[in-house]
């Protein structure tokens, strides 16, 4: 089945009791049993809910995986993955990644005795150097946030192979339309469904997709035991979002390409970070593992003064100043004070994230309007 057909039909069957073409929102906490242990597959909504089941199947299908699990947020999905580990285990993670994941690792799990090594994975050899006999997980995020580096997923999974090391890829930035980590050998694909899957900035949610039955059972056990499950209405919203993912992503990619080139040609812009440029350091890897380059773009102005930065990010009229990404509307963000403020400044600078960096999530509005808006804001 081709992708467009799959995205529209994934996980959904007409409701058997009514014929409703859209999956009903099963707003219920419990399910009546005819006798102890005799029920219709559901006993309590933390363990399972039919709206969530439909969404979990959809997530699995669109990521080319066997099993999906939905969580109440993207970080709750990441939290579940780390809970597969025990004290003494070690994790190798990207040094450039979502600030909230870094905070979860360094401020919550570090004190439980799990050790995290942050390495620059643009060169996969750096990973081999950090592996030891306690390494249990490699955490990849690509494209990286906010510097838009590209990590070669197949190269990472080749390193982990036969070493009893799991590879989890945070695929939020690419979405399943542009990249499918399981096809490249990863064990788990993770999403903040809040972003492109939902697509309309109206829900917080996360998901994990995997092929291995034992891994699914272990993660389902954590989902049920720790309880970070999404409600049925939120599951419905993400199911609806997935139906238009391919159409939105096509426009995101077209707009992203136009805006990236516009910024690069702008006399006041010093540098633009976007994996679609031929001279992006890992452009060839991006071309190989992605089906397009997306619409996440970061840039720096020639004038690096904090005043100019503040003026530019505060004066766009269509593009809203806000955290998050992946919605139909364009957003502008200042990582150092917003999305990445939870990473210490020295750590950010060491990884190349300057205070003057601006990140854009280009939406699906008319590209000319977006470029005119940026032009007047940059001035
Ligand atoms: C937003 C985001 C997360 C966290 O997801 P939430 O839904 O906000 O909890 C994780 N990874 C990436 C790349 C993100 O953009």
Which stretches does DSSP call E strand in the chain? 67-71, 90-94, 115-119, 135-141, 166-170, 188-192, 206-210, 269-273, 296-301, 320-321, 331-333, 358-361
According to DSSP, the β-strands at 269-273 and 67-71 are: unpaired
165 vs 9, 98, 112, 186, 329, CA distance in Å?
34, 22, 20, 10, 39
Rg (CA), the chain: 21
Q: What is the whole-number distance in angstroms between the Cα of residue 39 and the centre of ligand 1? A: 36
Task: State the distance between the two ends of the chain, measured CA to CA, in whole angstroms.
Answer: 48
pLDDT tens-digit profile of 238-291? 999 999 999 999 999 999 999 999 999 999 999 999 999 999 999 999 999 999
pTM recorded for the entire structure: 0.96
Mean pLDDT of 34-51: 95
Is residue 57 in contact with ligand 1, taking CB distance under 6 Å? Answer: no
According to DSSP, the β-strands at 206-210 and 358-361 are: unpaired
- 170 catalytically annotated: yes
Topology agreement, domain 3-242 and domain 245-378: no
User: Any idea where the domains of the chain sit in the sequence?
Assistant: 3-242, 245-378
Shortest-distance atom of ligand 1 to CA 324: 1
Q: Tell me whether the omega of the peptide bond preceding residue 143 falls within 30 degrees of 0, making it cis.
A: yes
Determine which one of 42, 46, 251, 311 is catalytic: 46
pLDDT tens-digit profile of 92-137? 999 888 989 999 999 999 999 999 999 999 998 999 999 999 999 9
354 has a pLDDT exceeding 90 = yes
Q: Secondary structure of 310-340 in the HEC alphabet?
A: HHHHHCCCCCEECCCCCCCCCEEECCCCCCC
Is residue 100 in contact with ligand 1, taking CB distance under 6 Å? Answer: yes
Which class is domain 3-242? Answer: alpha beta
Is residue 172 in contact with ligand 1, taking CB distance under 6 Å? Answer: yes
3-state class of 230 per DSSP?
coil
According to the model, what pLDDT value does residue 162 have? Answer: 84
% of the chain with per-residue pLDDT over 90: 93
Fold exhibited by the domain 245-378:
3.90.1150
Closest by alpha carbon to 149, among 362, 296, 304? Answer: 296
> 261: which residues sit within 8 A by CB, 6+ positions away?
none
Is residue 142 in contact with ligand 1, taking CB distance under 6 Å? Answer: no
189 has a pLDDT exceeding 90 = yes
Pocket test for ligand 1, best of 75, 82, 141, 178 (most atoms within 8 A of CB): 75
According to the model, what pLDDT value does residue 351 have? Answer: 86
Closest by alpha carbon to 330, among 321, 340, 342, 339? Answer: 321
Is residue 206 in contact with ligand 1, taking CB distance under 6 Å? Answer: yes
342 has a pLDDT exceeding 90 = no
């Amino acid at each position: 089945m081709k992708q467009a057909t799959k995205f529209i039909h994934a996980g959904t069957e007409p409701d058997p009791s009514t014929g409703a073409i859209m999956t009903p929102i099963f707003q219920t906490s419990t399910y009546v049993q005819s006798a102890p242990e005799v029920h219709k597959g559901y006993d309590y909504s933390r363990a399972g809910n039919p709206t969530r089941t439909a969404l979990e199947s959809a997530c699995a299908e669109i990521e080319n995986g066997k099993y999906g699990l939905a969580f109440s947020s993207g970080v709750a999905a990441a939290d579940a993955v780390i809970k597969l580990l025990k004290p003494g285990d070690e994790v190798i993670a990207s040094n450039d990644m979502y600030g909230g994941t870094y905070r979860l690792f360094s401020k919550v799990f570090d004190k439980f005795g799990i050790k995290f090594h942050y390495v620059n994975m643009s060169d996969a050899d750096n990973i081999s150097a950090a592996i030891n006999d306690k390494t249990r997980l490699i955490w990849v995020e690509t494209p990286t946030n906010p510097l838009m580096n590209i990590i070669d997923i197949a190269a990472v999974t080749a390193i982990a192979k036969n070493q009893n090391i799991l590879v989890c890829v945070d695929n939020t930035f690419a979405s399943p339309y542009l990249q499918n980590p399981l096809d490249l050998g990863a064990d788990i694909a993770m999403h903040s469904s809040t972003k492109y899957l939902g697509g309309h900035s109206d829900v917080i949610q996360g998901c994990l997709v995997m092929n291995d039955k034992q891994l699914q059972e272990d993660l389902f056990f954590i989902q049920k035991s720790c309880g970070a499950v999404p409600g049925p209405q939120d599951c419905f919203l993400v199911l609806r979002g997935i139906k238009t993912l391919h159409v939105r992503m096509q426009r995101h990619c077209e707009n992203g390409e136009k805006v990236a080139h516009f910024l690069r040609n702008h006399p006041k812009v010093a540098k633009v970070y976007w994996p679609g440029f031929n001279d992006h350091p890992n452009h060839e890897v991006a071309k190989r593992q992605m089906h397009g380059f997306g619409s996440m773009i970061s840039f720096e102005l020639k004038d690096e003064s904090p005043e100019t930065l503040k003026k530019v990010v505060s004066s766009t009229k269509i593009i809203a100043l806000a955290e998050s990404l992946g919605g139909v509307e364009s957003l502008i963000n200042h990582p150092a004070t917003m999305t990445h403020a939870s990473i210490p400044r020295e750590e950010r600078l060491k990884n190349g994230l300057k205070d003057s960096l601006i990140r854009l999530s280009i939406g699906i509005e008319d590209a000319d309007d977006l470029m005119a808006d940026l032009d007047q804001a940059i001035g």
